[in-house]
Chain A
């Protein structure tokens, strides 16, 4: 008996990542050092975290366009509160996460109650969050706090002098947490059910409203967490930061093998999607002669490839079923 067809996109993602890494390594043997790996994880930590939230949203058949703005809002919120008050960063983090989670839950509520497309509701959320960030400040606010210095200075030195930073670990834990939620809980099963068909899900006993609210609350939480990590990574808060990150996250999810219409995919695939995109960037830095827009071109090509792959796969499973019928 062959492997389950739903695993093919995940295999494809991992295979592409390994092949890409091999090509990089052949050209620049240093690419296979723990330093590069450490940087790859650190540089893409915020993207990886927000993409986990996006994966769950897309699995449920929705979309969340607000996350890029929420990340920017989070950075601004943290930096302004730290500047103007004497609260400990951990308290500020807790405050922020409750705000972004509630924001996500609110969007989920509107999507369910008003039966509005997630696209429009979260588009409104995108403008709201970006506007809220501007309301707090229009400048880039540096974060100057001992706790931030402490986090930046704590890392695990891997053999070969690569640094496994705190934010990289947070990202990996987020992926593990997201995978657990999506694939091993009843909530996760409900998310997949929604992505498979709302009507059928309801007939099978899914609480559609509750699940929708939780899905967007989860995405809001992850966007807030991503904002925290981004503020640690950049050491500042800036309302114009991470414009378009929601689209990069969607790209990472699709390259990670999740089907954009929902109901099929793996959270761990998203991690590989993020890493593949990061790898392209790293390659361009190593090469030195290539302009950075090559990143976008390669990502665009990869996206196209995956869309074609998914279409082909759907056809394939379709014909399998037809064959079984005949």
Chain B
């Protein structure tokens, strides 16, 4: 069968990182093709190269046999490649009809003909099973309807290839079903559809074939029906069950079970985010949180630290209730949280290493009670030495440091607060292998001093290496807890992959 879209040896590099390495992809007309991979696997880069947002470094893209090289989103659109993103890229303050016909409004005597515009919009929406008033603002409709309107516009403008980038991330089950109906009918009309999602159930339900990317490389392209969940997750995480049983493992402290309890989270949860869970944290313990992207692992941390308000449950320690309803309270209760995206949520790039380290400490003291400069210098120098932060001085801007050293600065900030419970979300994301090992060594060192840590990571090896205990999260539920000899990559992958029926 002739391919609608073929990609050969596509490569794209950014300073310091090879985002795509010789990637091949074939898309047939009339198929839904899933594109899978963890964060940083290269999915978004590939899509941006297709839609003209990025220029590829090398490789070839052919559409209907002809080589193409779109330089902008609109150029890609004219060639026949339309994209619908997770956040609807339409204007909520315009009417549905205006959004659908934007740039091609029917006109009479130079003025937009509103009646013809609404008729055109209704024609475009016919076949999508939507019976809505196209004269109303798009923003008054649900995200699902906005999503379908966006699809209708993309199909009308391009009509050959439709890229759906996490279209279901903010939809509920009923809405997802509605969206899938639309996608299937478009497939039957002969469109080639690329479907990006991290909901594996949806991938199995909707797609005909799938391609897995990892670390910028194509790992496999396969008929969806010929893969099972375990195999798929192995591809995504890059682990073969057989080879991992002997992965290096933190020596579990036999005393661990006898260590006293530090904090107990009871029935903590928020509907739509994470189902209520119980979790007891012991002194000096490292808890690993494993799960795929979007499974609820980061959300669990956000609930604990009060970044998002929980609608049920509470935290308590030996002295009674612990306040953690918002980050300020959580910090007051001795919690710390180093978030996943260091660049946007962690460091303040323009401030110096010293200022970044004392930031949280100063915030706790209040602005009226500044930390004396001598004390600041002492703290900064102490942590630069202790964590081996490679910087020419405490007054260098953090933005100039390498990723690993930035991460250490974030770590130093929380250690300066001397918390009793520290949450690290993807502490080794985007840093090189050497720094990687150092961060892990630091985690061991910290817990040796009595602090408790919760680590979230997609790198199973890393989790296994540092954790005393691993909680597996799937579909926004805490589904399994692994301790002692059960902590193996195989067990984690099986727990992530298990269907609801099989694993309750």
Given contacts A189-B98, A321-B140, A324-B142, contact A184 B93 (CB under 8 A): no
B111 touches A184 (CB 8 A): yes
| Of B94, B107, B110, B135, the contact of A196 (CB 8 Å cutoff) | B94
Asked whether any CB of chain A lies closer than 8 Å to the CB of B321, the reply is no
A204 touches B103 (CB 8 A): yes
Q: Which residue of B lies closest to A1 (CB)?
A: B133
Q: Which of B299-313 contact A (CB under 8 A)?
A: none
Extra contacts, 10 of them, besides A200-B90, A203-B89 (Cβ < 8 A), are A189-B102, A192-B93, A193-B91, A193-B102, A197-B91, A200-B91, A205-B103, A317-B139, A325-B144, A325-B175
Q: How far is the CB of A182 from chain B (nearest CB, A)?
A: 11
Whole-angstrom CA separation of A225 from B103 in the bound complex: 30
Q: Which of B71-91 contact A (CB under 8 A)?
A: 73-74, 89-91
B112 touches A193 (CB 8 A): no
B92 touches A205 (CB 8 A): no
Given contacts A189-B102, A325-B142, contact A4 B93 (CB under 8 A): no
Q: Which of B112-139 contact A (CB under 8 A)?
A: 112, 114, 133, 135-137, 139
Could you show 11 A-B contacts with beta carbons less than 8 Å apart?
A: A189-B102, A189-B105, A189-B112, A192-B93, A196-B93, A196-B94, A200-B90, A206-B103, A264-B93, A321-B141, A321-B142
Q: How far is the CB of A260 from chain B (nearest CB, A)?
A: 13
A196 touches B136 (CB 8 A): no
Asked whether any CB of chain B lies closer than 8 Å to the CB of A320, the reply is yes
Whole-angstrom CA separation of A263 from B144 in the bound complex: 22
Q: How far is the CB of A188 from chain B (nearest CB, A)?
A: 8
Q: How far is the CB of B77 from chain A (nearest CB, A)?
A: 8
Q: Which residues from A are CB-within-8-Å of B142? A: 321, 324-325
Given contacts A204-B103, A205-B102, A205-B103, contact A189 B136 (CB under 8 A): no
Contact with B along A260-275 (1 / 0, CB 8 A): 0001100000000000
Q: Which of A227-271 contact B (CB under 8 A)?
A: 263-264
Interface residues of A (CB under 8 A from B): 1, 4-6, 180, 184-186, 188-189, 192-193, 195-197, 200-201, 203-206, 263-264, 317, 320-321, 324-325
Q: Which residue of B lies closest to A3 (CB)?
A: B136
Given contacts A1-B133, A184-B112, A204-B89, contact A189 B94 (CB under 8 A): yes
A193 touches B140 (CB 8 A): no
Contact with A along B332-359 (1 / 0, CB 8 A): 0000000000000000000000000000
Q: How far is the CB of A60 from chain B (nearest CB, A)?
A: 12
Q: Which residues from A are CB-within-8-Å of B102? A: 189, 193, 204-205
Q: Which residues from A are CB-within-8-Å of B172? A: 325
Asked whether any CB of chain A lies closer than 8 Å to the CB of B143, the reply is yes
Given contacts A193-B102, A203-B73, A325-B142, contact A186 B112 (CB under 8 A): yes
Q: How far is the CB of A321 from chain B (nearest CB, A)?
A: 6
Whole-angstrom CA separation of A324 from B172 in the bound complex: 11
Whole-angstrom CA separation of A180 from B102 in the bound complex: 17
User: Which 9 A-B pairs give the minimum distances between C-beta atoms?
Assistant: A196-B91, A263-B93, A324-B142, A196-B93, A184-B111, A205-B103, A325-B142, A203-B89, A184-B112
Q: How far is the CB of B309 from chain A (nearest CB, A)?
A: 16
B94 touches A4 (CB 8 A): no
Q: Which residues from A are CB-within-8-Å of B139? A: 317, 321
Whole-angstrom CA separation of A263 from B139 in the bound complex: 12
Q: Which residue of B lies closest to A204 (CB)?
A: B102
How many A-B residue pairs have C-beta atoms within 8 angstroms? Tell me. 77
Q: Which residues from A are CB-within-8-Å of B137? A: 4-6, 317
| Of B74, B94, B99, B110, the contact of A185 (CB 8 Å cutoff) | B110
Q: Which residues from B are CB-within-8-Å of A189? A: 94, 98, 102, 105, 112
Whole-angstrom CA separation of A203 from B72 in the bound complex: 9
Whole-angstrom CA separation of A200 from B91 in the bound complex: 7
Q: How far is the CB of A258 from chain B (nearest CB, A)?
A: 12
Q: Which residue of A lies closest to B95 (CB)?
A: A4
Whole-angstrom CA separation of A96 from B432 in the bound complex: 64
A204 touches B112 (CB 8 A): no
Given contacts A4-B136, A4-B137, contact A186 B103 (CB under 8 A): yes
Q: Which residue of A lies closest to B74 (CB)?
A: A205
Q: Which residues from A are CB-within-8-Å of B145? A: 324
Whole-angstrom CA separation of A325 from B91 in the bound complex: 18
Q: Which of B364-382 contact A (CB under 8 A)?
A: none
Q: Which residues from B are CB-within-8-Å of A197? A: 91
A204 touches B110 (CB 8 A): no
Q: Which residues from A are CB-within-8-Å of B112? A: 184-186, 188-189
Whole-angstrom CA separation of A325 from B92 in the bound complex: 15
Q: Which residues from A are CB-within-8-Å of B99? A: 204
B140 touches A317 (CB 8 A): yes
Q: Which residues from A are CB-within-8-Å of B103? A: 186, 204-206
A204 touches B135 (CB 8 A): no
Q: Which residue of B lies closest to A202 (CB)?
A: B73
Q: Which residues from B are CB-within-8-Å of A1? A: 133
B94 touches A193 (CB 8 A): yes
Q: Which residue of B lies closest to A326 (CB)?
A: B172
Q: How far is the CB of B311 from chain A (nearest CB, A)?
A: 14
Q: How far is the CB of A137 from chain B (nearest CB, A)?
A: 41
A4 touches B135 (CB 8 A): yes
A192 touches B74 (CB 8 A): no
Whole-angstrom CA separation of A206 from B111 in the bound complex: 17
Whole-angstrom CA separation of A102 from B279 in the bound complex: 67
Q: Which residue of B lies closest to A263 (CB)?
A: B93
Whole-angstrom CA separation of A144 from B424 in the bound complex: 78
Q: Which of B9-58 contact A (CB under 8 A)?
A: none
B141 touches A324 (CB 8 A): yes
Residue of A188, A205, A206 with most chain B CB atoms under a 10 A cut-off = A205
Q: Which residues from B are CB-within-8-Å of A321? A: 139-143
Q: Which of B155-172 contact A (CB under 8 A)?
A: 172
Q: Which residues from B are CB-within-8-Å of A320? A: 140
Q: Which residues from A are CB-within-8-Å of B175? A: 325
B94 touches A192 (CB 8 A): yes
Q: How far is the CB of A115 from chain B (nearest CB, A)?
A: 19
A195 touches B93 (CB 8 A): yes
A5 touches B140 (CB 8 A): yes
Q: Which residues from B are CB-within-8-Å of A204? A: 89-91, 99, 102-103
